[in-house]
């Protein structure tokens, strides 16, 4: 399993390239990885050149660091400039413990260092629950410098700015580097194995959903705190261990060397250059950047005191962000993919199919024959309120959604309809009001909890996970949450079959392997509906299902809603297409200025003078007759 990519293998000859053309790029990659692994494993045995051994040891440390960072940055989308803090924590753990208990082998403290790093990472993970994007980057820098301050000021334990000297290795001078070398290779192997496993698991799929659209991920049932905290632990535990080996290898640790922002920069560069969200990218990056760093420092040392390193890292960071934002491996993969697809027509422009048999759905959704006696509403909101600064978007809105109904919510633009949706599924938190779903107060339930209880919703402006395929988008929805489920394969055969049925139902089956970003708006609407169905919700909330799609599709949308409704699914629909709504919905609630102004059957609403005045307009009745 162990492998690293180095420049050691010689370039294949022209003939070899010609024969290799018939082998898939994936296999070429595997062969290169295997050869490089063998080279790295064999190097200390065949050469005692300590200069290169040292270079590989440092590269291995960065490979572990960047591979760990990959889990929160590449998969989860949180950029951190504090990753070197975990190397520092590992170094200090072994430094402090090895000097205190000098009778036991320092190797004993390597796993402990992993635990310490993981413990601190839990804290950083909790921080990520409250802050995203650039604010999070700033926090990670502050976190790193705070760690440094602690190491400086907590002199009794850390030795302050003077640092700590570790006990010297006790083994023979001729194999002095071997234990460090192979320990790091082993740690990297475990790290890569874990990354590989995460990418294939439900856990990894959840992380990618969080990266693509965190708010949306929560509304399709992904438990954010558990995913994020686990990701931060996974990103740090082996890095802490590598840091401990690194500290022991250096035999000297101090605050400036261990909690260095430049090490963080090198880690992030390593990841960006190699390629985010890839298995081997961080390893490739490490074995490119560190040798480059060494070379530049040796040849440009005349600039004085580390200035060459600053130029190199600063300049590279700028260049990578501007010119190579995707990194080497993803760019290479994209290039090979384009070449393999040359001259083949894309599917994206094809028509949406008429859809598969609606009957097949009965197998996959819970069918409830609602007892006529149960008259408690499925959803009841009372006095819902949300103010944005001075804007009262929702201001005392109350209505109910009867079980088994198709309830409509209409009102002028800006009357608060979409905000009401956002409050019901907790895309945003309400200021006040009660929400009772299926007899249970859910005001304090987080978005994913509401999804698990049976609320599914689509967005007015579709929010699919752009970098996932259509099938992955649908399967990403999680009906319930359990820790064991995180370890299951990302897409099981059963789920794939189920998702395929839903995609067939909405007429999008032949798009299942396309990236969501390639789809048109109308197509995305259909996929989002399939995604919601995957939750098997009791209440399906649709935000403008007929907006921006063609009349045939609107017709089809109406049929689908009725079909699902006949299985006992309750609907709450926001839409401006009045013929569509008056035809489909009963009851209808009218929203104006953030509050419910009228409720009733379509006929009552159509003739209500207040509603005509506020929303429909005097000429509405004639318009409607024109339609039929």
Would you tell me which residues interact with other proteins (CB under 8 A)? 79, 81, 127, 130-131, 133-135, 137-139, 141-143, 145-146, 149, 153, 261-262, 265, 268, 272, 303-311, 313-318, 321-322, 325, 388-389, 391, 393, 418-419, 422, 427-428, 461-463
Residue with tokens 């399939």: 530
Minimum gap (Å) between residue 413 Cβ and other proteins = 11
Please say which residue, 491 or 542, places its beta carbon nearer to other proteins. Answer: 542
Please say which residue, 306 or 489, places its beta carbon nearer to other proteins. Answer: 306
d(Cα 422, Cα 461) in Å, to the nearest integer? 13
Minimum gap (Å) between residue 272 Cβ and other proteins = 8
Grouping H, G, I as helix, E, B as strand and the rest as coil, residue 388 is strand
Specify the pairing of strand 406-410 against strand 164-165: unpaired
Within 10 Å of residue 160's Cβ, how many Cβ atoms? 15
Please say which residue, 153 or 360, places its beta carbon nearer to other proteins. Answer: 153
User: Are 32 and 20 within 8 A, CB to CB?
Assistant: no
Within 10 Å of residue 319's Cβ, how many Cβ atoms? 11
User: Are 117 and 64 within 8 A, CB to CB?
Assistant: no
Show the DSSP H helices in 463-509 as ranges.
470-475, 483-486, 493-505
Please say which residue, 113 or 384, places its beta carbon nearer to other proteins. Answer: 384
**DSSP secondary structure string, 517-582?**
GGS-HHHHHHHHHHHHHHT--SEEEEESTTTTS-HHHHHHHHHHHHHHHHTT-EEEEE-S-HHHHH
Minimum gap (Å) between residue 193 Cβ and other proteins = 28
Minimum gap (Å) between residue 306 Cβ and other proteins = 8
d(Cα 116, Cα 98) in Å, to the nearest integer? 15
Minimum gap (Å) between residue 303 Cβ and other proteins = 5
Minimum gap (Å) between residue 529 Cβ and other proteins = 18
By the 10 Å C-beta count (0-12 exposed, 13-18 middle, 19+ buried), 103 is classed as exposed
Minimum gap (Å) between residue 148 Cβ and other proteins = 9
Please say which residue, 20 or 137, places its beta carbon nearer to other proteins. Answer: 137
Minimum gap (Å) between residue 418 Cβ and other proteins = 7
Minimum gap (Å) between residue 175 Cβ and other proteins = 38
Please say which residue, 419 or 577, places its beta carbon nearer to other proteins. Answer: 419
Minimum gap (Å) between residue 213 Cβ and other proteins = 9
Start-to-end CA span in the chain (Å):
68
User: Are 140 and 256 within 8 A, CB to CB?
Assistant: no
Please say which residue, 290 or 495, places its beta carbon nearer to other proteins. Answer: 290
Element (H, E) at 165: strand 164-165
User: Are 70 and 196 within 8 A, CB to CB?
Assistant: no
Q: Per residue in 482-505, is it b (16+ CB within 10 Å) or e — as a string?
A: eeeebeeebbeeebeebbbbbbbb
Please say which residue, 157 or 194, places its beta carbon nearer to other proteins. Answer: 157
Minimum gap (Å) between residue 442 Cβ and other proteins = 19
Please say which residue, 307 or 566, places its beta carbon nearer to other proteins. Answer: 307
Please say which residue, 266 or 570, places its beta carbon nearer to other proteins. Answer: 266
Which residues 6+ apart lie within 8 Å of 39 measured at CB? 6, 8, 9
Tokens of 298: 């040796």
Please say which residue, 202 or 417, places its beta carbon nearer to other proteins. Answer: 417
What is the edge-to-edge ordering of all strands in the sheet holding 406-410?
Answer: 455-457, 539-543, 570-574, 406-410, 588-592, 595-600
* Cα-based distances in Å from 302 to 262, 293, 308, 312: 20, 15, 8, 14
Residue with tokens 């890292």: 313
Please say which residue, 234 or 312, places its beta carbon nearer to other proteins. Answer: 312
Show the DSSP H helices in 159-260 as ranges.
178-200, 202-212, 214-219, 224-250, 255-258
Minimum gap (Å) between residue 300 Cβ and other proteins = 10
Minimum gap (Å) between residue 319 Cβ and other proteins = 8
Tokens of 86: 């975990």
Please say which residue, 101 or 311, places its beta carbon nearer to other proteins. Answer: 311
**DSSP secondary structure string, 294-361?**
HHHHHHSGGG-TTHHHHHHHHHHHHHHHHH-TT-HHHHHHHHHHHHHHTTPPPSTTSPPP----GGGG
Q: Is the peptide bond preceding residue 587 cis, with omega within 30 degrees of 0? A: yes
């Amino acid at each position: 399993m162990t492998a690293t990519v180095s420049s050691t293998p010689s370039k294949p000859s022209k003939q070899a390239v010609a024969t290799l053309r018939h082998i898939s790029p994936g296999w070429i990659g595997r062969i290169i990885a295997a050869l490089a692994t063998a080279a790295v494993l064999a190097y200390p045995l065949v050469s005692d050149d300590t200069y290169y051994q040292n270079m590989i040891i440092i590269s291995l440390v960065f490979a572990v660091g960047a591979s760990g960072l990959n889990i929160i940055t590449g998969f989860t989308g949180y950029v951190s400039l504090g990753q070197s803090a975990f190397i520092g924590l590992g170094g200090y753990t072994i430094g402090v413990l090895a000097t205190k208990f000098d009778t036991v082998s320092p190797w004993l403290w390597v796993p402990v260092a992993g635990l310490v790093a993981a413990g601190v990472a839990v804290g950083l993970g909790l921080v990520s629950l409250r802050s995203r994007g650039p604010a999070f980057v700033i926090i990670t820098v502050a976190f790193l410098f705070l760690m440094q301050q602690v190491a400086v000021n907590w002199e009794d334990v850390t030795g302050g700015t003077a640092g700590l000297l570790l006990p010297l290795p006790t083994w023979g001078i001729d194999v002095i580097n071997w234990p460090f070398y192979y320990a790091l290779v082993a740690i990297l192997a475990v790290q890569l194995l874990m990354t590989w496993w995460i990418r294939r698991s439900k856990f990894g799929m959840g992380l990618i959903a969080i990266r693509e659209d965190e708010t949306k991920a929560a509304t399709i049932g992904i438990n954010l705190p558990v995913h994020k905290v686990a990701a931060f632990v996974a990103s740090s535990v082996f890095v802490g261990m590598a840091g401990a080996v690194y500290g022991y290898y250096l035999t000297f640790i101090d605050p400036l060397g261990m909690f260095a922002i430049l090490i963080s920069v090198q880690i992030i560069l390593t990841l960006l250059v190699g390629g985010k969200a890839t298995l081997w990218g961080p390893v490739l990056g490490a074995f490119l950047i560190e040798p480059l760093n060494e070379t530049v420092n040796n040849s440009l040392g005349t600039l004085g005191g580390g200035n060459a390193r600053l130029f190199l890292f600063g300049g590279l960071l700028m260049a990578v962000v501007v010119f190579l934002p995707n990194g080497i491996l993803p760019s290479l993969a994209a290039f090979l993919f384009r070449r393999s697809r040359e001259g083949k027509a894309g599917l994206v422009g094809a028509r949406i199919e008429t859809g598969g048999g609606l009957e097949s759905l009965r197998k996959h959704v819970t069918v409830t024959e609602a007892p006529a006696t149960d008259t408690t509403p499925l959803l009841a909101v009372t006095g819902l309120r949300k103010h944005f600064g001075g804007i009262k978007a929702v201001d005392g809105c109350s209505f109910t959604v009867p079980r088994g109904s198709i309830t409509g919510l209409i009102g002028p633009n800006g009357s608060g309809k979409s905000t009401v949706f956002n409050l019901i599924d907790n895309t945003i938190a309400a200021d006040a009001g009660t929400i009772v779903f299926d007899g249970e107060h859910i005001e304090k339930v987080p978005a994913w909890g509401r999804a698990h209880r049976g609320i599914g919703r689509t967005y007015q402006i579709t929010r699919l996970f752009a970098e996932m395929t259509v099938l992955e988008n649908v399967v990403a929805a999680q009906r319930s949450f359990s820790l064991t489920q995180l370890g299951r394969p990302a897409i099981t055969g059963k789920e794939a079959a189920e998702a395929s049925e839903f995609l067939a139902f909405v007429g999008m089956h032949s798009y299942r392997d396309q990236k969501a970003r390639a789809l048109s708006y109308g197509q995305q609407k259909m996929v989002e509906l399939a995604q919601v169905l995957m939750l098997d919700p009791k209440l399906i909330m649709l935000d403008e299902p007929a907006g921006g799609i063609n009349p045939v599709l609107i017709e089809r949308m109406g049929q689908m809603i009725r079909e699902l409704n006949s299985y006992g699914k309750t609907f709450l629909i926001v839409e401006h297409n009045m013929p569509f709504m008056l035809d489909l919905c009963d009851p209808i609630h009218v929203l104006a200025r953030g509050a419910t102004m009228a409720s009733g059957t379509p006929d009552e609403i159509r003739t209500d003078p207040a509603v005509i005045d506020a929303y429909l307009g005097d000429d509405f009745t004639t318009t409607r007759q024109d339609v039929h």
